[in-house]
Structure 1
Amino acid sequence: MAVAAERAYYRFVVLFFNCLLTFGSYFCFDIPSVLQEQFQGNLTCPNGTQHNDTGHNGTLDCVEGLGMTPAEYNLLYAIYAWTNALVVVVAGFLIDKLGNRFGVFVFSLLTVLGSSIFALGSHFKGTPYLLPMMLTGRLLFGSGNGSLTIVQNRITAFWFKGKELALAFGLTLSFSRLGSVLNFFFTQQFESHFGIQWTLWGGTLLCVLGFISAITVSMLDKVGMKQLGLDGVIQQESKKVRVQDVRRLPLRYWLLVLTIMFFYNGVFPFVADASKFIQDKYSGYSQQAAAYIAGAVYDSSLVLSAAVGILIDYVGLRGVFAVGCAVLTLPVFALLAFTFVPPLVSTIWLGITYSFAAASMWPSIPLVVPQATLGTAMGLATSVQMIGIGLSNLIVGHILGTKSSELKIPLWRWQQMMIFMLANTIACIVTSVSLNVVDRKQGGTLNRTTKRSPVEHEERQPADVAPLLSSEPGNDGSVN
């Protein structure tokens, strides 16, 4: 009789709590995007606070807020990205050495601490302590959230490798994006009733939900691995992981990492400033309406990710989808830069390409590296991604200006920002095409591997990644 951990329902229970790990943290991550005007608003208004709920472009009104400049605001995103870039490599290696349970506990706790300090910093507006405290909060939050995503992906890859891998990755993305979507829908309304401080504390409370989920998924993972008799095996494989193995990661992995970085360089910095951009360029949008439209990027991802994951599990073609996503993203930034086509068209369009990109790129990493070193590989991939995003946030902040943005930012500055997004997308096309060329020369694993051909994949994989575990080339440490 099969043990519970061998049944399909068990891995989907693990997946459910694994999905909840990042629900609250993704909600918190983009709160500044929704409340950009409050973050950059005046410390006081002559006639009291005036929120942008008139249905007109409200950037000309006085909005009471924290008094940040555009550069300081974008620094909140840049510090998050840089922290990820520095921490996730070490975090990924530690997860490989010490296990998933160590990772989910420590990193989910960091998201709670970081969001708490970020919320506390908002109480010091008008003082020199505001920016340092909020940056410290984002630093700790970034240390936890980026690393927590690595653990989440590692757990998903362990329980679903050779099964519904892209579907599982798609569902984790959907749950994460559900947090982002709810943020774009409700945060502005909540802030208008309760103020920015209580809004930020509400986000912290959702991070506590993630910490509770971390404890639950840790227990399920421990029980399941013991029932499968793999707990000791994984620990033995973890002992073989060395820092020097990074030098032996295959070329396909690095091309995949660069493809991910350039694609996300166009998505995340755009979403961070999208609400302000919509109000500045297009007439007739309130702050709340602009937030809804900016959030459509994540709405599309929320709706499509699971279905796209199922599709990719059955047809493969991950490399082809990566190229297609990059090519089809080019018109998005062109429309935003040079036309007045309704912005909702562009944000939905970007959300669709983002859904296919996330479901094809990230689940490709477990296909080219072994399970025992997956944390390190995911950490490196996240690090490179966040270095790119951090630099992009800085460049965008410089393009948009360093003075207070209570008045509209000139259209030519927004056009320069979109041209920068276009440049990143073109670079993504180049790296994704190169990825397909190399993959084809090395057996076509990314495009040929499907749910219906797990045996074929397992036969090819050891040769591809053997140098990473040179002491026992044939063992990838996976459950299959």
Structure 2
Amino acid sequence: MVYFVSAVASPILGYVVDRTGWNVFWVFIATLGTIGAHSLLAFTYLDPYYAIVLLGLAYSMCASALWPMISLVVPEYQLGSAYGVAQALQNLGLAVSTQLAGVVVDAGGYLLLEMFFLGWLFVALIVTLVMWIHDTRNTGILNMTVAQRDLYEIQKSPSMQQVLITEDVLDAASNELNEPQSEQDIRTDISPSWEKLIYLPTSTEL
């Protein structure tokens, strides 16, 4: 049931993350949602389907916000290795936690199992907060909006600055060419914008 909900919700929530940014914030919200779902299963008699739907939504949000963060902090030429290591660690965690869950159920039943899950979820919540604080004290790129992240990438890349400057100059020159000019102006004058195009600054000069 969790994966059925996730199959529907993942593209939608992924689009939300793409449009807003704030990846760490969404991971934090997803962790809170997962805590809420397991709390419903452990401490209430509410229909379990409500908790399962909430769990599926939280799972989708966490996956949509968490995995893209790797590409924000790892160089492009190392992304394959980074995702491979992350997937290996996730699979290791799933394998170990499944075995531990069986031991916990045999020892104390399903209420103790939910407490086991909740304990690890609170650990995840603390880790998310630590990551959020650490990111805020440094570049802040993991929790930027999309617009802030684009601006950060432009400021970090001199070559991108040169491209933007060139585009601005071309736009200005094009506008000046569209303005009415006398025959004398056309023969003798060079517009200021075209003079700028004669020499473009290099990335080191920027």
Whether TM exceeds 0.5 here: the answer is yes
- In structure 1, the residue matched to 2:77 is 372
- In structure 1, the residue matched to 2:190 is none
- In structure 1, the residue matched to 2:141 is 445
Q: Structure 2: which amino acid aligns with 1:376?
A: S
- 1:432 Cα deviation after fit: 0.4
- 1:452 Cα deviation after fit: 7.8
- In structure 2, the residue matched to 1:384 is 89
Q: Structure 1: which amino acid aligns with 2:112?
A: Q
- In structure 2, the residue matched to 1:361 is 66
| Mapped pair 1:422 → 2:118 | yes
Secondary structure in structure 2 of the residue aligned to 1:314: helix
- Relative distance call for 1:451 and 1:312 in structure 2 (3 A) is farther
> In the comparison of the two structures, how many residue pairs are matched?
158
> Conserved in 2, the CA contact under 8 Å of 1:449 and 1:457?
no
CA distance in 1, matches of 2:88, 2:154: 28
CA distance in 2, matches of 1:459, 1:385: 34
- 1:338 Cα deviation after fit: 2.5
- In structure 2, the residue matched to 1:307 is 12
Q: 1:320 aligns with which of 17, 25, 28?
A: 25
| Mapped pair 1:348 → 2:44 | no
Secondary structure in structure 2 of the residue aligned to 1:340: coil
For residues 177-231 of structure 1, the C-alpha deviation after alignment (integer angstroms, 9 at most, x for no partner) is xxxxxxxxxxxxxxxxxxxxxxxxxxxxxxxxxxxxxxxxxxxxxxxxxxxxxxx
Structure 1 residue ranges without an equivalent (≥5): 1-294, 402-409, 462-480
> Conserved in 2, the CA contact under 8 Å of 1:313 and 1:451?
no
Secondary structure in structure 1 of the residue aligned to 2:146: coil
- In structure 2, the residue matched to 1:47 is none
Whose Rg is larger? 2
- 1:451-470 aligned at under 5 Å gives the runs 453-454=149-150, 456-457=152-153, 459-460=155-156
> Conserved in 1, the CA contact under 8 Å of 2:141 and 2:149?
no
CA distance in 2, matches of 1:346, 1:309: 21
Greater relative contact order, per chain length (Cα 8 Å cut-off, separation 6+):
1
Q: 1:432 aligns with which of 112, 128, 145?
A: 128
Q: Which consecutive segments of 4 or more residues in structure 1 shift more than 6 A?
A: none
Task: Report the TM-score, using the length of structure 1 for normalisation.
Answer: 0.31
> Conserved in 2, the CA contact under 8 Å of 1:319 and 1:447?
yes
- In structure 1, the residue matched to 2:3 is 298
Sequence identity percentage: 27
- 1:433 Cα deviation after fit: 0.4
- 1:451 Cα deviation after fit: 6.6
- 1:455 Cα deviation after fit: 5.1
Task: Report the TM-score, using the length of structure 2 for normalisation.
Answer: 0.70
For residues 409-461 of structure 1, the C-alpha deviation after alignment (integer angstroms, 9 at most, x for no partner) is x9x51111111110111011001001111111112101115178535336448
- 1:41-56 aligned at under 5 Å gives the runs none
